[in-house]
Amino acid sequence: MTENSFKDKTILLTAGPTHEPIDPVRFIGNHSTGKMGYALAECFAARGAKVQLVSGPVNIKAESQSINITPVTTADEMYAAVKQLAPKADIIVYAAAVADYRPKMVADKKIKKSGDELTIELVKNVDIAAALGKEKKEGQFSVGFALETHNESANAREKLQKKNLDMIVLNSLNDPGAGFKHDTNKVTIIEKDATTAFELKQKTEVAEDIVNLIWERTHG
């Protein structure tokens, strides 16, 4: 692969967490740092691609001038941005850790402490990859991520099929050094008829492995 391997290709990437507000000062979120998604964005850009990065709240800045960032906060905002950008994308990579649920009602003022319990009713967020998978255009290549704690391969394969993905990147919280809050990751890339496992590596190196395999599948 060369610096121009993805020249004239548009890559749409999601990265980071989403924050679902409870009131003006609190939210439901997760531990995603966005490091994996941003590493992928930099890797694609270094290979000549135009990168559209839809990013949740992170403390990272993109270095490449070829990366255009659309900042979002909630799952609904991320879905709206991705839906708008998806038709022009050649490759879509869903690397964000999108919250599965959000509060049904968001208080307009800070909820004051009262009593020993607080009940918050949650409603399901849209599954962005699944929703866009139903609108996937011919020739578009899509990649999902699955962070699992049990039945890892079976759960990932189910997502691969249900979300109409071409490949899914599986990592397990059972592997030391993998998942959130680390600069390293250990992934297994699952496709319909292939499984490729990698050792624990820096996330920048993991990004290269993923991008290399995407190139092989789209240019092979």
Spans of all domains in the chain: 10-107+120-219
Q: Which of 29, 18, 153 is CA-nearest to residue 94?
A: 18
Residues known to be catalytic: 30
Q: What is the pLDDT of residue 100?
A: 95
Alpha-carbon distance 145 to 166, whole Å? 11
3-state helix, strand, coil in the chain (%, to 5): 25, 30, 45
Which single residue is written with the structure tokens 């190139």?
Answer: 215
Q: Which of 163, 158, 161 is CA-nearest to residue 128?
A: 163
Q: What is the pLDDT of residue 185?
A: 87
Burial class of residue 18 (count of CB atoms within 10 Å of its CB; 0-12, 13-18, 19+): buried
**Backbone φ, ψ for residue 167 (5° rounding):** -155, 160
pTM of the predicted structure, to 2 decimals: 0.94
Q: What is the pLDDT of residue 178?
A: 67
Q: What is the pLDDT of residue 1?
A: 67
Q: How many residues does the chain have?
A: 220
Q: What is the pLDDT of residue 197?
A: 93
10-107+120-219: CATH architecture: 3-Layer(aba) Sandwich (3.40)
Chunked mean pLDDT (size 10), the chain, 220 residues: 87 98 96 94 97 97 96 98 98 97 96 91 97 95 90 92 97 71 86 94 95 92
Residue 55: HSE in the Cβ half-sphere, 13 Å Cα cutoff: 23
